[in-house]
Amino acid sequence: MIKERLNLLINLAASDKIIDEREVKTIHMIGKAGGLSKEEVDEMIKRPRTIGDLATFTEDQKFENLYQLILMMKTDGQVFKSEITFCEIVADRLGYRKEVIGELAAKVYSDPSITSDRRQLMARAHKFLK
């Protein structure tokens, strides 16, 4: 599951054609936390795969992927239209209406020291399930 999540994040980071150093650090941090080596993560960054079937994720996994995508979108301090579009496409494939991105993006912060109430965010996201 960690490789699928990282692949989503890598695809998002690359959607604006530039993978920022902060995005790379975040990807490495998540990979390391998931038990992947630096070399494995570097290889994934060099050769991202297409996004597979997201319908098999549990509701918790869907939300976690959505949450991580929004964090990644905000990591470099700039939000590009291509990143928003990518997140909306992934949200749709996860079973959410695309409007969930705007709803959650307003409540998810790029600075990890500013915490969001994840339970409340999950409840908000749940309202956007198809």
Question: Each residue's pLDDT tens digit in the chain (130 positions)?
Answer: 789 889 999 999 998 888 889 899 999 999 999 999 999 999 999 999 998 888 788 999 899 999 989 988 988 888 889 999 999 999 999 999 999 999 999 888 766 555 668 888 999 999 999 9
**φ and ψ at residue 90, rounded to 5 degrees:** -65, -40
Burial tier of 94 (Cβ tally within 10 Å: 0-12, 13-18, 19+): buried
Count how many Cα atoms sit within 13 Å of the Cα of residue 11 in the half-sphere of its side chain: 19
pTM here? 0.80
As a whole number of angstroms, the distance between CA 51 and CA 10 comes to 10
CATH classification of 2-126, choosing from 3.40.50, 1.20.950, 1.10.3680, 1.10.287?
Answer: 1.10.3680
Break the chain into its structural domains and give their ranges: 2-126
Q: Which residues pair with 103 in a beta bridge?
A: none
